[in-house]
Structure 1
């Protein structure tokens, strides 16, 4: 069995390299990334630096970056979002960070998320618990939706966005009638970290990209969250959506997702 915690110091060191850059450098040139989306020069810079850094220290572990894809191979794979919340970052909004996770057999097993403008770093390795700035964290004890603050992932952009957003809007409408508050931060990593810390009671993203989710799922799971696909099966890198909740809210959220799907046409899957 892989001792995931032995890789945690390497992941932390990589994240801290990136965090320093994110604090100190401007976004640089922006490049269109599909319809109504951009990638910054700094996204590429951070990803290339961490790809090389991690290859030098862990040459037997593959690497998946949001911007430039896969390199290397092996049973284990790093998954990096160099700037999660690029749109926030380029506008000077502090809700952004770096997300680095480790995948083993399709499962998130380690994660580090750094939110440099909020001075928070979250870490976890399977079986070792979850920590924020060195302090053990756990999900909230919220058991009812009317007490819950729920984070919802960004609405879709690009091809097929209209159809995908029918489901997102329907779920938002379902939950708006039941929950205490809905929040949209623009960073999936931040949502999952805040779920782990008890700031949010659910973090719902109707899509699943490993670079976005791996670290946050690992951290939230170690903090006691339940992370499932849209049909209630346990989360894997191949899940269609990413639903993270406190244990008591899982079935309630799934029922509202089912109702949202039933109220829409042609929106059976997230994306």
Structure 2
């Protein structure tokens, strides 16, 4: 149902990624009110993606991180954009940033595209069609396969930072006890934002934790993870209505995901 539209979105995503890479040496950055970074590249890329989405689907509204999302919760069908997910990584020149495009219908993502300009890869999925990862310069689609790990002690686990935790609440609403994972995991590393969930899809990481998420951060990831056969839920263990749930957890197995949920839940105060 969505295959033709998916490949139009894929073309837009690759063109946007080329813009991101071509602009990185001269990008200028500033801090937003929430202390996160934004650049003129974020804004120009979001405009580019938005205009192109409207050209192929003029009747569907487009919302994004930089150009506005007010009223999005009242829509049945809409696009969501995060032009550069991980602008701070982009500023530092560390190639773990991404660009996210998703189509939402009735509260759930049905198309998702995660482009990773710094490593020339793109992960994409559409409802019922599976999830694929490919190199920018290769036309062959590679079906994803994941190994299964069931326990934290055997798992390689990543997180996008200490924000939204008992160590540093920052803009979060819940002090997740992320530090409990450090000593118990077989291997734990902090990494980039969206890229860690692609690593779960590829079987390179067993679980990935995001303690603070916005709808434009989550939507493309959710459909790609679901279509790859990975487990995806929020940090309360819920698997539905994830776009607005403010946290995200992906894993190679439900048993591992639920063990993480139990391990990092806030202490009773």
Q: TM-score, normalised by structure 1?
A: 0.86
Residues 63 and 72 in structure 1, CA contact (< 8 A), matched pair in contact too: no
Contact 2:169–2:175 (Cα < 8 Å) also in 1:
no
| Contact 1:62 1:71 (8 Å CA) reproduced | no
Aligned to 2:99: 98
Report what 1:269 is aligned to.
none
Residue 107 of structure 1 pairs with residue 105 of structure 2: no
Q: CA RMSD in A?
A: 2.3
Range with bigger deviation, 12-21 or 177-186 = 177-186
Deviation (angstroms), 1:165: 8.8
Of 37-46 and 131-140, deviating more is 131-140
Q: Counterparts of 1:1-271 in structure 2 under 5 Å?
A: 3-26=1-24, 28-70=27-69, 75-133=76-134, 134-156=141-163, 161-162=169-170, 164=172, 167-168=175-176, 170-171=177-178, 173-187=179-193, 189-236=194-241, 237-247=243-253, 248-258=255-265, 261-262=266-267, 265=269
Shift of the 162–130 alpha-carbon distance from structure 1 to 2, 3 Å rule, reads closer
Q: Give the TM-score normalised by the residue count of structure 2.
A: 0.87
Do the aligned residues in 2 keep the contact of 1:15 with 1:98 (CA within 8 Å)?
A: yes
8 A Cα contact 1:195 1:201, kept in partner: yes
Task: Identify unmatched segments of 5+ residues in structure 1.
Answer: 266-271
Label 1:213 to 1:163 Cα distance change in 2 as closer, same or farther (>3 A). closer
The alignment of Structure 1 onto Structure 2 pairs a total of residues equal to: 255
- Tell me whether 107-116 or 66-75 shows the greater mean CA deviation: 66-75
Determine if contact 1:155/1:165 at 8 Å carries over to the other structure. Answer: no
Aligned-pair distance for 1:162?
4.6
Query: How far has the Cα of 1:35 moved from its partner?
Result: 4.8
Q: Partners of 1:100 and 1:23 in 2: how far apart?
A: 17
> Structure 1 residues 163 and 219, CA, compared in 2 at 3 Å: closer, same or farther?
closer
Task: State the Cα deviation string for residues 18-53 of structure 1 (Å, max 9, x = none).
Answer: 011012113522122125422011000000111111
